[in-house]
Structure 1
Amino acid sequence: MWYNSLFDITDDLGRLLRFERVPQRIVSLVPSLTEYLFWLGLAEQIVGITDYCIVPAEQVATVPKVRGTKNPNREQIIGLAPDLIIANKEENRQRDIAALEAAGLTIYVSDIESVQQAMITLPKLAGIFGRAEQANWLIAAIQAELALKPTTHQRVATAIWRDPWMWVGQATYAADLLACCGASNCLADPAGRYPRLELAEIAALQPDRILLPDEPYPFSQADADELQGLAARIDCCDGQLLTWYGPRIPLALQTYRRLLQTE
């Protein structure tokens, strides 16, 4: 696919993107997809990333940073003259996307709320760069993990922040990944994707297990000790495995399936 020829693709929002050639200059505003682009072998094409794009550490260290996902330096991005910007509906602000598009830049907006959606988006992105074969290998690895049905079923509450306490809602990638591993989200989710519930409200839901990932809030054993008595088990866990989609999905499914099977 490394040729100069017109081709079209739709992003996750169904917007048509037109390319005159395979993109040679990429800016990624999505940390997990930055990791994926490097995994695809596109290091030489990546010309800008966010401050939160921290993996793979040695490779991202030398790439220009364009500030955060919520406050990207638009002028800097425009100056980098990217052929393609990778963004995300949840992680990036619509007004930043609109401003960059108004400057004539092409943006693929991802929208991944489930493992199945990741299995659609990841090959599509790889196909833009002629890396479909590598993406197919990843999808096969994910499918192999999904074929291993969980042997447990637990009602789980997963925190993502405190002061105020915020929790993973139903319509999220993290909730879906946990569901693939044998967990059902005990939150009814009336207040959105990441509702605020006090600890007394969580206790009333009677979860079997509470998960405390180490990002975006750095929960630790001290937080787990504070929550003792709210559930039969309270586990600190890996936040990147839970929320980052890309090459780590097979390991995430393995890890959380094992965790949920632990008594």
Structure 2
Amino acid sequence: MKPIKTIKDQLNRIIHLKETPKRIVSLVPSQTELLCDLGLENALVGVTKFCVHPHHIRTDAVVVGGTKQIHLDKIRGLQPDIILCNKEENTKDLVEACETICNVHVSDIFIIDDSLKLIHQYGEIFNKTKEAFTIIDTILREIEDFNIFIKNKPRLKAVYFIWKDPWMVAANNTFVNYLLKLNKFENVFENEIRYPEIALNESTVNKDVNIVLLSSEPYPFKEKHKKGIQAFYPNADIVLADGEMFSWYGSRLTKAFKYFKNLRLNLENNQS
């Protein structure tokens, strides 16, 4: 019997599906949330310890590890039909290990269009095309509204921190950097690649930066961290940023652009 579906994932890897997958393991938090919003919560048999949306999913599904280290035997015992990964979140070795169990789909996200294609593809794979189109349409409407809002706003020089000790920032070739551009934030570290370590000392003080974003993930920056950063960016607004809005590329995007709008309005209020 021929496969009912032949799919290319976002690394152009060919996946043959004999039937619609009924048992899913998701190793990517933002994709777990997307699956639930597509109406596939009951099909999720395995998730990571970082899958926090919806908040009860780690109780309903088996936690099989993190995004970099997994319990392969635990996944095998769940008898999944498909395992969902991401090129950035999961390692090549992890993907190859999962392929000894069942089909593995790998996403690769750099821009919004990649996100929309992933949502559409999940709709095809899991027979949820109507739900996928609803999410896609909502995201497109939100982007259109935000683009009108941001059109005449000034460009601001920005730094986006993701880690402390060592200090690390989001740079080029990241989804975060793409969203910073949409917000008209000029990333000071755009000439760097991915997530470089940077030094903070007297020689790196930058008085031209307008906004510093301290992400809530992967490092959980808090209010107490703002004062220390201010010394190196004396003229910047130091803001605790919701990392999920800047880095989760699934259905979280239906909420992200309202968040970005409020972020800009709060900056304007602080400066008035």
Shorter chain as normaliser: what TM range?
Answer: over 0.9
- Measure, in 1, the Cα distance between the counterparts of 2:30 and 2:23: 18
Select which of 29, 37, 40 maps to 1:39.
37
Q: Does the CA-based 8 Å contact 1:167-1:194 persist in structure 2?
A: yes
Secondary structure of the residue aligned to 1:227 is helix
Secondary structure of the residue aligned to 2:60 is coil
Secondary structure of the residue aligned to 1:189 is coil
The question of 1:235 aligning with 2:227 is answered no
Secondary structure of the residue aligned to 2:105 is strand
Paired position in structure 2 for 1:182: 184
Q: Does the CA-based 8 Å contact 1:177-1:253 persist in structure 2?
A: no
Paired position in structure 2 for 1:257: 261
AA at the equivalent of 1:215: E
Segment of structure 1 superposing worse, 213-222 or 7-16: 213-222
> Which TM-score applies when normalising by structure 2?
0.89
> Per the alignment, do residues 202 and 88 of structure 1 end up closer, same or farther by CA in structure 2, a change over 3 Å counting?
farther
> Per the alignment, do residues 14 and 61 of structure 1 end up closer, same or farther by CA in structure 2, a change over 3 Å counting?
same
Q: Give, in angstroms, the shift of residue 178 of structure 1.
A: 2.1
Q: Does the CA-based 8 Å contact 2:8-2:14 persist in structure 1?
A: yes
- Measure, in 2, the Cα distance between the counterparts of 1:155 and 1:121: 31
Deviations 1:83-141, CA, capped at 9 Å, x for gaps: 1000011111111211221x241000011122221111111112211111111111112
Select which of 19, 22, 39 maps to 2:20.
22
Secondary structure of the residue aligned to 1:224 is helix
> Per the alignment, do residues 78 and 182 of structure 1 end up closer, same or farther by CA in structure 2, a change over 3 Å counting?
same
Equivalent residue pairs, number: 258
Structure 1: runs of 5+ lacking an equivalent: none
Paired position in structure 2 for 1:194: 195
Q: Does the CA-based 8 Å contact 1:178-1:256 persist in structure 2?
A: no
- Measure, in 1, the Cα distance between the counterparts of 2:236 and 2:159: 12
Q: Give, in angstroms, the shift of residue 217 of structure 1.
A: 0.7
Matches within 5 A, 1:1-263: 6-101=4-99, 103-147=100-144, 148-149=146-147, 150=150, 151-152=152-153, 153-190=155-192, 192-200=193-201, 203-204=205-206, 206-229=208-231, 230=233, 231-261=235-265, 262-263=267-268
Q: Percent identity?
A: 33
Deviations 1:185-229, CA, capped at 9 Å, x for gaps: 121333x20011122476348321100111111111111121224
- Measure, in 1, the Cα distance between the counterparts of 2:205 and 2:124: 46
Secondary structure of the residue aligned to 1:92 is coil
- Measure, in 2, the Cα distance between the counterparts of 1:185 and 1:224: 19
Secondary structure of the residue aligned to 1:259 is helix
Secondary structure of the residue aligned to 2:246 is helix
Segment of structure 1 superposing worse, 62-71 or 52-61: 52-61
Aligned CA RMSD, in angstroms, stands at: 1.8
Secondary structure of the residue aligned to 2:102 is coil
AA at the equivalent of 1:240: E
